[in-house]
Structure formats: structure tokens, C-alpha cells
Amino acid sequence: MAKERGRDPLTSYTWAIAACLLASGAASLTLEVVWSRLLKLVFGSTTLAISTILVAYMLGLGLGGLLGGRLAARLRNGLRAYGWIEIGIGVYALLVPTLLSLFPLANRLVLGALPFWPAALVRFLLVLIVLLAPTILMGATLPVLVQALVHGRGCPARRVGLFYGLNTLGAVCGVFGATFLLFPAVGLRTTNLVGAGTALVIGLVTLLWIAPAYGRVKGSAEIESASLSESVPQPDGYRRWDPLLISYGLVGFTALAYEVCRTRCLTMIFGSSIYAFATILGAFLLGIALGSLIVRLWIDRLRSYLLAYGLGLALLGLTAYGTLLMFRKLPSLLESVFATRGISGGTLVLAGLQASVLVVLAPTFVLGALFPLISRALAGRRPELGRTIGEIYFVNTVGSALGAFLAGFVLIPTLGLRGTLGLCIAINLASAVAILAWRRQVGGLARWVPAGAVAVVAALVLLNLPVLSGTWFTDGAYYRPKKTVKLGIEMQPVPGYPDNETLYYREGVNATVSVHRTPSGIDLRINGKTDASLLDMSTQVLLGHLPMLFGRVPASRALVIGGGSGVTAGAVTLHAPERIDLVELEPAVLEASRYFDDVNHRPLQHEALHVILDDGRNFLSSTARTYDVITSEPSNPWISGVSNLFTREAFGAARRALRPGGRFLQWIPLYGMDLEIVQSLLLALRAEFPYVYGFRHSSSAGDLLLLATLDELTRADLPVWDSISTVVRRDLEQIGVNSTADLWSMLVLRPEEIDGLIEDATVSNTD
């Protein structure tokens, strides 16, 4: 024990505490990713639904930081409290899937009957009720640990930066581990068990070993609070800290607003699969971790923390501007990666990771560096370090929640991506000028030169914001650059991809939508990917007519999921049903569909058609309405959010929404997926419907139309050709269908043949 006298007890257990911090960050982000996916399955993938989940989550983290910071100094044994907090997180995490399983019932019984905004408020309250307890516990971990392990007044910022950086580095591991390893291997619920189990292990290790051992070493060490307090110079001599907290709240606001904008921009170039989102989030957290871990090494050498913090704010805005300049280069980066590594889904993920690091790393490095800087600047004025860290954490997370919500739901739809990024850059630079000018004890040139220089740079930057539009941005480099790139197995070069004219461009609430005229016709693109075109007419027309013509029960009520070009909904209107519900996620898609009015029969003007702005699966799960026909034509299954419509649970919701004798038609792309995935989708549909029939038009060999019913269909269930209305026959004749025999000849898979294909398949479900 004599050797430990005068030695900081923290150094004796650095590796154990570091391991706990890493594992805690990994467990927290693993659980966050799992819970977010489970909630999106219930409430949908709309921007409002996702923002609701994020705001509730961030609010809980912020409150946890605030409450944890205020309680930390009153705890007799902070490490034991930290252990119990981790156990609380683990135990509650085990209950979350069960609690969330009750939400679909509430969705059907309550939310489906409420108007839009009251339903949104109830949804937020439900999410808050479930997530508040575990997120408060998660938010409390950092201030409790800091108060327990960093003794006395003042702020040994090297340690604060170390704790924050290690915890965030663990979060990086959690994001990548959950998305790329655990989800594909064991599913959502088992991944939740892994996250919960990790938190429980951390808590038990802390309670049974680290806390008792640390307490013994601490008791024998001669570490005085006063000595640490005296070693920390007072930063610029100010007592007031409110402007710093306000500025750090704005840092949180801009950080998440930047993240929303960068994600939208990167998905235009690299696609919007779940892997794309994971790489962007992972790169975001990696930059923060590195910034905190590296800056902590020399932070004690700074003479003025306010000067460093103010310049850091300016650097945050300038690096964000720099990434804005990089976006135009990213399609070329993708082409070069394809040229060296070949075209494949794995190459696309790798290129997305490289681009995410390139675009995100610099500004997020600055974000990570700002945390130890503001901690050092504020802690010298506060007697309770844990409370200071808690308040810093609180204002930042609340700002982050507001930034994410307002960016996605208000700023991007009104100002666009360029305007939103410009606003955030202006906020960072203005905050820098204000903090630099606020240093009142620094006089003359030392005070005003840095502030004036940043102000001049800010004016130059804001007057020269690059434009985020044009064919380079909307061509979908991941999907159709000079080569067609589809996430999956099949990748085909397309020589001489033609130039195009942009007819429509809108940065909507949920996606960026554009319409283009090319030598081959008109196409509609969502996030750069073509989702409807004149080349797809045969598939789009059949999606509307096939389920309306088949069956013994005339279709008086129809549901179409996915607006697209409007051709499918228009085909349904020609059958004159009493009611047609069109469910579309993005309002801009409906606007863009008007460019197809020459071929889509103008469905939006039809008196029987009712537009419902919602996620397709969420609507099916919550509606009390029933239909004779349901047609589902979403985008490709590999797109994040859309994949939820290609699961057994979604097909089951469709079955429950059908009337007796009803028909459900599901579009399946045969391209970009291997046979195993197609078999899995077939098995999921077959598990809910006893009869599934596969149709395919000769001009669209890559599209499979699956007609699912509860009753067996025969050719006799098709009407006599002459009994079909003239407008319907004329519409079918334009795609080469001139008789019911032609329709029947498109049948390529019967129920028994599908059963043979899926003998060894694994069902595609939500988990």
C-alpha cells in the first residue's frame, strides 16, 4: 500500500474503467438502434415518426445528464451508483420489446381513429413513456462517473475527454456491430438481449469488483481536492457561464441538423440502405470520439480556453462548409472505387464508408474536441464537476433533438438542403464571433482581431455557398451512374447513359424527388433512384388491373400503397370502384406524378381517390378499413424503411385488411437480389396466404407480380374480355394485352410451384 500513497487511484484501474466505458457505449447504441427499428415498424418510417422517436430518446438522455449531474455530488459511492445504473439499463432493456409489442394494439384501437396531429402527440407520449426510464439512466452515466472518478473542484479535462471519447468510441462499435454482424446473424430481439446482457455485466463487474477495489485504493492515496483545484487555472476569470451553455446548445442543434442534411446528400449518391445509414452514423460517432481523445492530450497547455472554444466553433462552421464543397466530388469517388474493386453491393458499402469518413470526419472531430474544451472552461466556476458535465450534456442533447426535428420536418422542406446547411454554418460562425467578443478581460487587438477575422470569413463563406442540384446530384450514382449499381448480387454496366433534362426537383420532408426527361422518356427519381418511368409501363399498368379483374367478388374498395408515377392508381380508377385509398410517404411524389398525366389518367383528380400521407406498413397495421383489393408497389426491398413492407408481418397486416374474396398484389423485383432472398420473400407471403400466383409481363422480365388470395383462383375467375369496360381494355391493349388469354398466359408460378421453390427457404420477417 505504501507504493500507492500519493498516487491517483484512477490509474490503478484505468484499463477496467476504460473497458466499462467502451462496453457501455456499445451497449447503449446497440439498444438505441434496436429500439429505433422496432418503433419504426410500429409507427412507420415517416420523418415525423422518426423525429418523434429521436426527440423522445434525446430528451431522456438530456434529462438523465441533468438529473445525474445534480445527484452525483450527493452520492457516497459514485461507482456503486454507476453499477446500479447499468443494471437498471440492462433490466429495463429486457422489458422494452415486450412493452413495444403492445403498441400495434394501441395503433389500431386509438391512433387509427385520431386526426393527424392528435395521433402524433399520442405517439410521442407513448414513445416517451417507454423510453424515458432507460434513456434517463443512460444519460446519467457520464456525469456520475466523472464526479466519482475526477476529484475535487476544477476540471482535469484530460480525464473528462478520455471518458467521453472512450464512451463514444464504444458507441461506434455498437452501431457497426449491431448493423453489420448481429442483425443479419441473430435478428433484432437477440441483438436486444446482447445489449441488455452487456449492460448487466458492466453493472455487476462494477459493483462486485471495480467499486470495492477502487474504494480501497482511493482511501490509501493522498489526493487532496485542493491540490487539483489549485492546479487548474481559472479560464479568463469569468463567473458567468450561461453564454457558453447557450452556444453549446446551438452546437448540438447544428450538429444534428448537419447530420440530417449530410445523410440526405450522401444517400443521393450512395443509396439509402440500412448499411448506408449505419456507415454515416458510425463515421459521425468516430469523428467525435477521435476529437475528444486527441484534443485531451494537449488541452492542459492552453492559456485561454474561451479563445480555443471560440475558434473551435468557427472551425466547426468552416469544416462544414468544406464538406459542402466535397459533395460534387463523391460520384467520381464512387466510380473510382468501382473501377478498382469491381461492381458489387460490398463495394458500394465500402465506398459509402470511405465517403462518410471523408465528409463527416473533420467537422465531427471538431465536435468531439469542443466537449473537453467547454468542460474545462466551465468547470473552474463550478463547485460540483458532475453537475457541470450534466448541464453541458443536457443543453447539447436538447439542442440536438431540436436540430434533428426541425431540420427534417421544417428547414429542409422550406429552405432546402443548401439553405439549411448555410443556416447552420451561419449559426456556428455567429456563435464564434459572439464568444470571442465576449472575452471582456482581454482588451484591444487580442479581443477584437479574432472576432473580426471570423466575421469576415463568415461573410465570404455565406456569400459563396455551392449549389446542391443538377444531374450529378440526382443521377443516383449508386444506382445508375455510368453503370447501373443495385445493392445485391446482379450488377450490370449500362454503356452511354444519356444526358437528361430536370423537369422537377423538390427536397421534401422524407426524400428528395426529381423528374427527368431523357431520350428514353420521363422518369421519376426518389433520392436519385429511378422508381417510375415510361419504360416500366407494363408493370405499372398490370399492378392496377390484375387484382381488379381477378376474383369472384367485384372490387368496390381498393388500396394502393405507393404513389410513384400514378399509373397504377390511375389504372384502378378505370374500374370505377366506390373508394380508392392511395397511401404515399412523400408529398413531393404526388406533385411529381403530374408529369405523367398523359399516361396515368390523372388519378389525383378522381373523386373516388383519397390520398393518405403515411407509411404503408403503419397504415395497414393501424387502419380499421377493409378492402377488396390491395396493391403494394413500394421501392426496392434493400432500401431502409421500405424493407418493412416485404416481411411476413406486413403481409399479415394486408391479409387482415382484406374483405372476404379480397386479393393482395405484391410487386417483387427479381434484379439486385439473389435467389435466397426471393425465396424468403415468397415464403413470407405464402405463410400468410394459402394461394399465391406469380405473373410476369414479357417486356418486364425483372418484375414479378405476386397475386395472393384466400381462395383458389382459376381462369374462370377472369371476366369475359368483351364484358370488360372499353377504357380498361384500351389501357391493357397499350401494353400488349388483347384478351383474357393474354392475361392468363402471364401466369408463370402456380401455388404448388411456389411451394416447391420455398422448401428450404427462411422466412423474411421483421426480426
Q: What is the pLDDT of residues 409-447, one digit of tens each?
A: 889 889 988 999 999 999 999 999 999 988 767 767 777
Mean per-residue pLDDT of the chain: 84
Per-residue pLDDT band for 167 (boundaries 50, 70, 90) equals very high
Instruction: Please identify which residue in the block is written with the cell numbers 418523434.
Output: 52
Round to whole Å and give the CA distance between 35 and 734.
47
Instruction: Considering only residues 495 and 704, tell me which one the structure prediction assigns the higher pLDDT.
Output: 704
Say if residue 375's pLDDT is above 50: yes
DSSP 652-686: HHHHHTEEEEEEEEEEEE-TTS-HHHHHHHHHHHH
Give the mean model confidence (pLDDT) for residues 483-509.
57
Query: Which of 241-245, 256-260, 517-521 is least confident?
Result: 241-245
Say if residue 155's pLDDT is above 70: no
Say if residue 351's pLDDT is above 60: yes
CA dihedral 199, 176, 45, 124 (to 10 degrees): 30
Cell numbers given for 283 = 463515421
Cell numbers given for 630 = 390491395
Round to whole Å and give the CA distance between 459 and 218.
53
**Which residue type, as a one-letter code, is found at position 184?**
P
Residue 601 gets the label, from left (phi > 0), alpha (psi -120 to 50) or beta, of: left
Q: What is the pLDDT of residue 370?
A: 95
Q: With contact defined as beta carbons under 8 Å apart, do 627 and 662 qualify?
A: yes
Instruction: Considering only residues 12 and 184, tell me which one the structure prediction assigns the higher pLDDT.
Output: 184
Q: What is the pLDDT of residue 604?
A: 96
Question: Residue-wise over 725-757: b if at least 16 C-beta within 10 A, else e?
Answer: eeebbebbeebebebbebbeebbebebeebeeb
Q: What percent of the chain has pLDDT over 70?
A: 85
Per-residue pLDDT band for 9 (boundaries 50, 70, 90) equals low
Q: What is the pLDDT of residue 232?
A: 39
Strand order in 521-526's β-sheet? 501-507, 512-518, 521-526, 529-533
Task: Report how far Cα 488 is from the mean position of its chain's Cα atoms.
Answer: 21
**Which residue type, as a one-letter code, is found at position 324?**
L
Q: What is the pLDDT of residue 268?
A: 79
Q: What is the pLDDT of residue 400?
A: 94
Instruction: Considering only residues 727 and 534, tell me which one the structure prediction assigns the higher pLDDT.
Output: 727
Per-residue pLDDT band for 2 (boundaries 50, 70, 90) equals very low
Separation in Å, CA 78 to CA 72, 91, 183 = 7, 20, 35
CA 483-487-493 angle, to 5 degrees, is 20
Q: Length of the chain in residues, anyone?
A: 767
Round to whole Å and give the CA distance between 761 and 334.
34
Say if residue 18's pLDDT is above 90: no
Q: Is 562 helix (H, G, I), strand (E, B) or coil?
A: coil
* Cβ-based burial of 109 (10 A; exposed 0-12, middle 13-18, buried ≥19): exposed
Round to whole Å and give the CA distance between 382 and 388.
7
Round to whole Å and give the CA distance between 732 and 636.
25
Q: What is the pLDDT of residue 342?
A: 64
Instruction: Considering only residues 517 and 193, tell me which one the structure prediction assigns the higher pLDDT.
Output: 193
Round to whole Å and give the CA distance between 252 and 248.
6
Task: Report how far Cα 629 is from the mean position of its chain's Cα atoms.
Answer: 32
Residue 606 gets the label, from left (phi > 0), alpha (psi -120 to 50) or beta, of: beta
Separation in Å, CA 667 to CA 75, 304, 623, 635, 663 = 59, 62, 22, 9, 13
Query: Which of 58-72, 412-426, 564-578, 669-683 is least confident?
Result: 669-683
Instruction: Considering only residues 228 and 585, tell me which one the structure prediction assigns the higher pLDDT.
Output: 585
CATH number at 1-232: 1.20.1250
Instruction: Please name the fold of domain 536-757.
Output: Rossmann fold (3.40.50)
Round to whole Å and give the CA distance between 208 and 205.
5
With CA atoms as reference, report the closest residue to 679 among 568, 581, 613, 759: 759
Query: Which of 170-184, 337-351, 356-370, 662-676 is least confident?
Result: 337-351
Per-residue pLDDT band for 156 (boundaries 50, 70, 90) equals low
Q: Residue 604: CB partners within 8 Å, gap ≥ 6? A: 566, 590, 593, 594, 611
Q: Does domain 239-497 have CATH number 1.10.3450?
A: no
Over the stretch 89-110, which tens digit does the pLDDT of each residue have? 999 999 999 998 888 777 777 7
Q: What is the pLDDT of residue 422?
A: 95
Say if residue 64's pLDDT is above 70: yes
Over the stretch 583-613, which tens digit does the pLDDT of each residue have? 998 999 999 999 999 999 999 999 999 999 9
Q: What is the torsional sign of CA 186, 189, 195, 200?
A: negative
Q: With contact defined as beta carbons under 8 Å apart, do 206 and 213 qualify?
A: no
Give the mean model confidence (pLDDT) for residues 748-765.
84
Predicted TM-score of the model (pTM):
0.83
Q: What is the pLDDT of residue 490?
A: 36
Q: What is the pLDDT of residue 699?
A: 83
Q: With contact defined as beta carbons under 8 Å apart, do 286 and 361 qualify?
A: yes
Q: What is the pLDDT of residue 122?
A: 81
Q: Residue 486: CB partners within 8 Å, gap ≥ 6? A: 345, 479, 636, 638, 671, 672
Instruction: Considering only residues 655 and 152, tell me which one the structure prediction assigns the higher pLDDT.
Output: 655
Residues of the chain with CATH 3.40.50.150: 536-757
CA 444-447-448 angle, to 5 degrees, is 85
Say if residue 254's pLDDT is above 90: yes
- Maximum mean pLDDT: which of 143-157, 381-395, 447-461, 478-492: 447-461
Residues of the chain with CATH 1.20.1250: 1-232, 239-497
Q: What percent of the chain has pLDDT over 90?
A: 47
Say if residue 191's pLDDT is above 90: yes
Q: What is the pLDDT of residue 381?
A: 60
Say if residue 371's pLDDT is above 80: yes
Q: With contact defined as beta carbons under 8 Å apart, do 424 and 514 qualify?
A: no
Q: What is the pLDDT of residue 217?
A: 53
Q: What is the pLDDT of residue 402?
A: 94
Per-residue pLDDT band for 397 (boundaries 50, 70, 90) equals very high
Round to whole Å and give the CA distance between 549 and 747.
14
